[in-house]
A and B are shown apart, each in its own frame.
Chain A
């Protein structure tokens, strides 16, 4: 079952790439099937199954194909399958190859979340890069090659350093294999642990992303295909927080303790700095990119607090933002289709002409701002609660970032919908109703009943905090 779930999108992806005539139908069917499988698996995890499986991949070198769904993995898995389906539903006017590449990426992402072997994780982590690069390179805007090289070099710099760290973690730590449980039992400390941790940190900071390794992100989003499909997949690919949670911090608790104050500062400054920069943007996608960056800063703050509540908040935020940030990028795609531009100025006064679209936009923006009752709130709240115990000062700084979110989110919304009536535009069409309803339902559900997810995340987060020797 777990293998089917991981590799089903891959199969459909190749199908679409090889036979592009029915791309949309096949892509939708594939991602819907994956979504159903994901829901069934999620139900299984709720009732206590973990679908664990392992077999040697390279026995002589201690590399295993080991996968499982723990609570944290299952929650994020659900977010991935929902967001992919939503994105494929929304993006009805993309080239067929993009649908195929998105499905390939979905497979890679599910593998990243399921992997219980560090090297397997690395393989999925890197393999996902390939379709992501192709999508940017083949269908991106005018500056795509520059954006592509930037994105690729940052990612590869981080991940090759991480490969060195992986080798050090195993061979210096004396673990018999790359399995998570073996590595945890042979934790690497001392000076070597510091270096190895730093290598992991660079890789995941690129992918969170955190200041100062975030500079690839705005170009990546601005240059990608205007439909927003690639942006959604790119958002899902930002698995840095998960990587920190699952691998980097638990493997090197001693090194983390030494780095912690600096990391908290970095995360808080990312949250505030990115929010500030977002406020100054005049283009939707760049604004969203910086807004998402700010949220990831808050998530990283929760992880770096080392507490169970902070970590579970970060994971929840990651899952929630996959949906609402993704939906916002798709929303941007809709604007692009209507006006041919994403500049915030010329598209003012839309609320009269398109009231339903305005309502959808408002809900999505409010979710991003973190209004209680929507999915953005529980995660942010738990993050800040957790990090308060670790460092009140940096929590305060990050909190300023949360406030700034209201400023940039709402002012962008106001510019778009409520200034003097502007050009007439069509209201939501059928496709937009479909994905919009799905997004709003998920956002409301996660906001109203977060307990379902936090209860799944909590055991993992508690084990995480216990490994780091931290709070409750």
Chain B
């Protein structure tokens, strides 16, 4: 409960304080609020609480996902300060919207009741439609509108699924007994709705355009926190119905399509944010691989955290380079020479995303693949691993350009504001959790860490 209350208070506070105080104060307040939520999370870690007659369910899985979301939000906030100050955008709402989105994501991750889930989903999504357009430029509007329309479609899918679910089982709570055509259709529709949100192929079409068009810190937040929340709901749905029946094939098809589509499409992109967008699609596929195991919660939680750190770090680097028009790959050249911190961040982030030990991304991949191996889905593991080799190519290409490419403009980049803190923190955590993965994995495997 503590975490929920803290997040709610932070959302309200940032909204009202924003009217009276300068944006910088609101920014600090939001950062403090997120840290407070982390503290609340730490003190209640391992609790297994059910409140509001089962609407709210606070267990280790929701704690893990919330941790990943807060890490994503923190990185976004730290990276964005400089970004927005540089552009001079009067965007205090920005911080309130982020707070609300984290709150909504937490609700979505901490419930097995479909009604509460859709409420959480909407609290999460609506701020993001506004955030996508927060640059108040043509591309931002386009991204926002696309995101809104497809988000509405996905919510409609999800709602229709809920209606059918209620129709066939008489219950709004996941885990109700059900069978027959209507029930299967209900599960498939909910699956499709959540697949939209978590950017699983073939429901990922919006991802590259929206990621590219949104301001980079917002993209960072979308790629980390939103994905974490969507996957929490997806995991609870899949675990509640089990993996028999038609949705096994549906999920297997979705996962394999996602890892290959994401990675192959990333190969041919010319803009760094689009490459990372497709890479995030592929990573959604890897995360979903864990769903084939008997107890996906700990490995998914770890992967979400690892992914939030690595992708967050990569987008934080891009946020420094982006002047609102995206970052063509050729513009990365000479990054190391222009700013060693950015170069180091880029290096750690991409190697971690590629899954090289001793960085955190490796343990994430390792744990989800082990999980699926425990569920005896070796073919899926092998194919997903093969897709990961394809991914190595474009990560290395991005890396090679940044580190070894000859720069046309060698103007050194000066980092200002809180960006260096965010970058250093990200690098530190990616390496630390890579060397000592037990630090967090231990937390995620507490006895109560089972999704129900």
Contact = CB atoms under 8 A, between A and B. Distances in A.
Nearest to A156: B392
B399 to A, nearest CB: 8
Interface stretch (B134-142, B190-198, B256-264, B364-372): B364-372
A167 B396 contact: no
Contact of B437 (A58, A144, A145, A157): A58
A145 B403 CA distance: 11
Chain A interface secondary structure, helix, strand, loop or mixed? helix
Nearest to B369: A167
A156 B403 contact: no
Contacts of B378: 164, 168
A59 B441 CA distance: 9
B372 to A, nearest CB: 9
Interface string B382-404: 10011011001100110010011
Chain B interface secondary structure, helix, strand, loop or mixed? helix
Contacts of A58: 363, 437-438, 441
A160 interface: yes
B358 A138 contact: no
Interface residues of A, number: 32
A163 B356 contact: no
A151 to B, nearest CB: 10
Contacts of A130: 351, 356
A56 interface: yes
Interface residues of B, number: 35
B389 A123 contact: no
Contacts of A243: none
Contacts of A61: 366-367, 370, 441
Contacts of A60: 298, 438, 441-442, 445
Given A56-B438, A59-B438, A61-B370, A153 B381 contact: no
A137 B370 contact: no
A157 B389 CA distance: 6
B220 interface: no
B362 interface: yes
A408 to B, nearest CB: 33
B393 A153 contact: yes
B373 interface: yes
Nearest to B396: A152
Contact of A163 (B298, B354, B366, B436): B366
A127 B357 contact: yes
A143 B159 CA distance: 56
8 contacts: A127-B356, A127-B358, A137-B403, A149-B396, A160-B385, A160-B386, A164-B385, A168-B373
Interface of B: 298, 351, 354-358, 362-363, 366-367, 369-370, 373-374, 378, 381-382, 385-386, 388-389, 392-393, 396-397, 400, 403-404, 436-438, 441-442, 445
Give the top 9 A-B pairs by smallest Cβ distance, nearest first.
Answer: A123-B357, A137-B404, A156-B392, A60-B445, A167-B373, A126-B357, A160-B385, A58-B438, A157-B389
